[in-house]
Structure 1
Amino acid sequence: MAPSKALISLALFGITTARQCSNLTIPVTISSRQGQFREVPVEDNLDVGAFATRFNQFQKNYTADLLEAYQTLDGTYQISAQYCMPDGGSNGIVQLLSHGIGFDKTYWDLSYNNYNYSYVNVALAAGYSTLAIDRLGIGNSSHGDPFNEIQAQAEVEALNSVTLQLRKGEIQEIGCSYDRVIHVGHSFGSVQSYWLSALYPENTDGVILTGFSLASQFLAYIVAGWNLQSARLNQPLRFGNASNDVVRTLTKKSNLDDNLIRSLQQILGGLGIDLTPQEVWNEVATTEVLDLINGYNTSVISYDYPAGYLASSNLIALQYAFLQPGNYDIGLAVQGEKSKQPVTTGELLTIGNAPSSSPFTGPVLVITGEHDVPFCGGNCYGQVSGTNYSNIPENVAMAFPSAAAFTSYIQPNTGHGINFHYNATAAYQVIQDFLASHDLSAH
């Protein structure tokens, strides 16, 4: 039986608590040396499926197959961000938060259940300011060509530009400079935070990598498990292809409000079809029908993503990739499906290009869920062959030979998307305690 709170969660965002937070846009100018790829068809879902199949071929390198040359990408872009400051004001230290694939900046400040899952709130309570960004190419930040513009390298350069502007006090809406910047990432955001520490070690004071390891062999698990589709077709109006007049008309005539299950039950009842809320839930919320309906929800932003932006298929794919069954609120998962974000073909083709090690000399924490699929294959206590490390996250120490302190921590009963689990705030506290114990306290 789907928990009753799952139905409550279908309402959009709750009431925002009184906090010193504001949304802003940060211009960044970047120069990024990156790949020039041969573009292949990714317009419809059969094309996307073929892309994923070729990407996952055993002992094949699809990135190399499509790489034609290298280019230098020069451009000015806009980075959407949420800035929050503790009640006591700025104290010269800020956490710069980078989300992973499938999410946007709201991953760090989930409004569900009156912000009880908010990482930002915990960091603010510990005295830190926070700046959570939509990564370049995603959410309300600038979009671009999904093959040859929105690649990992360009996103790292954008992250570094934001970092430098924080340090120099050049972000007008913030109005102050920050002597110390801590980079906190999740998943692909962790890859980019690590990457920044390798290229620009002097620009970060602490590195927190959540949902991360050095194990690359599990990427194929996720690309397969996502059952990728064209984002424009998966959630058409929201992601930018509102061409299906049949679905649009049915949705408009159905008069669906945010309490999706109840509305559908009433509609079906009017047609003489008597279904329980559980039966409606099974047919709608756990299938791609939910995404068809979400795709015509006019109360959310239309992102207008071009072909080449790919999205996971449905709620079940989201659970496989990010959530440990039994240890998360299904209502929050549904909200995550309704607010999910895509991945570009260029990101997938370049996610593995990060430097092999970082010269960073500050403190590093890796915190990964026990059952993380993308970076641990579902078992972070697994052994890394050819090393003396006892588990997979511990192996990240190899990439930080000069770190002043390195700690790896496995969050129990948790999947990849740590912030979506019942025990998320316990993980948040591990992070704040680590920072405080390594001269990065905000008090």
Structure 2
Amino acid sequence: MRASVRTLALFAAIALTCLVAGVARADTGPATCRSFPITVPQGHLGATLCAPAAAKTVMVLMSGSNYNGTYWDFDYQPQTYNFREAMNRAGYATLVVDRLGNGSSTHPPGLSLNAEDTSEPLHGIVQSLRHGLAGAAPFAKVVTVGHSLSSGTSVMEASKYHDVDAVALTGYSHALNISETLGVISTYHRAVDDPVFAGHGLDAGYLTTRPGSRMHDFFAPGDVDPAVVALDEKTKEVFSLTEYPDSLMSTLPGMSGLIDVPVLIVDGSLDRLSCGAGYSVCASAATLHAAEAPYFAPAAKLQTFVLPGSGHSVNLARNTGAYHAAVLNWLNSTVGH
């Protein structure tokens, strides 16, 4: 009963806030974009809705740890790297949402955050999109798209509420490489000690990557533009380690098997976090599918894609266009416009 009351209250707050708080932005390509806050119990989430004319399907794009919405809406060479624009050009609406504690969202005490603080608002957002969010027409179909940490929260939401039409999981697998993950965590330090966040008033519970470590953590040197890495360093984000434990539960057997809508998993072939020992799981789309299929029900109609040469951050690889095409092929064949 408590969870139901909380969900209803969250849904009502989202609907009310977005009806009155829409802030117009300039049109970007074929899509009209508006930014607005979405009220949640801990404050608000920053969100931007971009909708081509007559779009009936919307993709909810949530950033993982170390990133905010710029991961999906990258400014450098957008014709290549901007995932949001690629989806809009193809006729799909997008809602880019910053998790609590990053981007334009509220920054509660860092150690108070967890993955449920993302998955529960995600459920409210899905419901609001179906009824008309921020004055937009209701969307007939809603697809959640996560990266890394937010892939885990997408699994949490879809397996619990069964209210989305499809789920795309990027930088995610059940073959989490623990030693490499610990190696990446070892590159984190307090955000208050980082020049990017000096003077931002963040508490000591917020962490970020040490300067110069993102190439090792999230990229493969042979598949990245140095200018992308430089901008990625400037736009990097904070997070809390307390967001990890419940999100990582999604990589254990059980939870993902409850998803009953189409699922796409995307990994880079050199993703040090998600590809298992020696990157063996990500040798090809076939090996990734073989490894992941036992964790999903037949209703998931699991499809997989491996971006050759890419590290963890597939949105920012030189050949990310191939990944865009794979996502669109999957969308067109499963949910459509």
TM-score (norm 1): 0.65
Displacement of 1:404? 4.5
Change in Cα spacing, 1:137 to 1:381, as seen in structure 2 (3 Å) is: same
Counterpart residue identity of residue 132, structure 1: V
Counterpart residue identity of residue 191, structure 1: G
* Residue 306 (structure 1) aligned to one of 203, 206, 209: 203
Does residue 99 of structure 1 match 2:59?
A: no
Residue by residue over 1:321-373, the C-alpha shift from the partner in whole angstroms, topping out at 9 and shown as x without a partner, is 11111211001101001110022021134332336333222211111100011
1:20 maps to: 32
2:13 maps to: none
**Which structure has more helix as a fraction of its residues?**
2
Does residue 180 of structure 1 match 2:141?
A: yes
Task: Give secondary structure in 1 for the equivalent of 2:302.
Answer: strand
Task: Give secondary structure in 2 for the equivalent of 1:437.
Answer: helix
Q: Identity, % of aligned pairs? A: 27
Change in Cα spacing, 1:150 to 1:423, as seen in structure 2 (3 Å) is: same
TM-score (norm 2): 0.84
Does residue 156 of structure 1 match 2:119?
A: yes
* Residue 208 (structure 1) aligned to one of 168, 187, 195: 168
Counterpart residue identity of residue 372, structure 1: D
Residue by residue over 1:404-435, the C-alpha shift from the partner in whole angstroms, topping out at 9 and shown as x without a partner, is 41111211111110011111011011011011
CA distance in 1, matches of 2:118, 2:126: 12
Contact between 1:368 and 1:393, CA under 8 Å: does it hold in 2? no
1:419-434 matches, within 5 Å, as 419-434=315-330
Task: Give secondary structure in 2 for the equivalent of 1:326.
Answer: helix
CA distance in 2, matches of 1:109, 1:379: 31
Task: Give secondary structure in 2 for the equivalent of 1:142.
Answer: coil
CA distance in 2, matches of 1:150, 1:380: 31
CA distance in 2, matches of 1:16, 1:318: 32
Change in Cα spacing, 1:175 to 1:230, as seen in structure 2 (3 Å) is: same
2:80 maps to: 116
Task: Give secondary structure in 1 for the equivalent of 2:259.
Answer: coil
1:224 maps to: 183
Does residue 441 of structure 1 match 2:336?
A: yes
Residue by residue over 1:106-158, the C-alpha shift from the partner in whole angstroms, topping out at 9 and shown as x without a partner, is 111111024431111111121100001101222211121222x2101121112
Displacement of 1:178? 1.3
Quote the RMSD (CA, aligned, Å): 2.3
CA distance in 2, matches of 1:136, 1:370: 30
Contact between 1:221 and 1:377, CA under 8 Å: does it hold in 2? no
Does residue 146 of structure 1 match 2:110?
A: yes
Contact between 2:189 and 2:209, CA under 8 Å: does it hold in 1? yes
Task: Give secondary structure in 2 for the equivalent of 1:151.
Answer: coil
Contact between 1:371 and 1:414, CA under 8 Å: does it hold in 2? yes
CA distance in 2, matches of 1:103, 1:219: 21
1:249 maps to: none
- Structure 2 residue runs of 5 or longer lacking an equivalent are 1-25
Change in Cα spacing, 1:16 to 1:221, as seen in structure 2 (3 Å) is: farther
1:192 maps to: 153
Task: Give secondary structure in 1 for the equivalent of 2:248.
Answer: coil
CA distance in 1, matches of 2:305, 2:331: 14
Change in Cα spacing, 1:17 to 1:167, as seen in structure 2 (3 Å) is: closer
The structure with the largest alpha-carbon Rg is 1
Contact between 1:323 and 1:414, CA under 8 Å: does it hold in 2? yes
CA distance in 2, matches of 1:105, 1:160: 18
1:234-249 matches, within 5 Å, as 234-235=194-195, 238-239=196-197, 241-242=198-199
CA distance in 2, matches of 1:188, 1:393: 20
1:360 maps to: 259
Does residue 412 of structure 1 match 2:308?
A: yes
Task: Give secondary structure in 2 for the equivalent of 1:85.
Answer: strand
Counterpart residue identity of residue 43, structure 2: Y
Contact between 1:152 and 1:192, CA under 8 Å: does it hold in 2? yes
CA distance in 2, matches of 1:338, 1:431: 27
1:340 maps to: 236
CA distance in 1, matches of 2:269, 2:94: 26
Displacement of 1:83? 1.1
Displacement of 1:91? 2.8
CA distance in 1, matches of 2:288, 2:280: 6
Residue by residue over 1:84-118, the C-alpha shift from the partner in whole angstroms, topping out at 9 and shown as x without a partner, is 111xx133210111111111011111110244311
1:367-378 matches, within 5 Å, as 367-377=266-276
CA distance in 1, matches of 2:259, 2:32: 32
Of 17-26 and 328-337, the range deviating more from structure 2:
17-26
2:22 maps to: none
2:4 maps to: none
Matched residue pairs, number?
306
Task: Give secondary structure in 2 for the equivalent of 1:427.
Answer: helix
* Residue 81 (structure 1) aligned to one of 19, 25, 47: 47
Contact between 1:364 and 1:403, CA under 8 Å: does it hold in 2? no
Contact between 1:197 and 1:358, CA under 8 Å: does it hold in 2? no
1:295 maps to: none
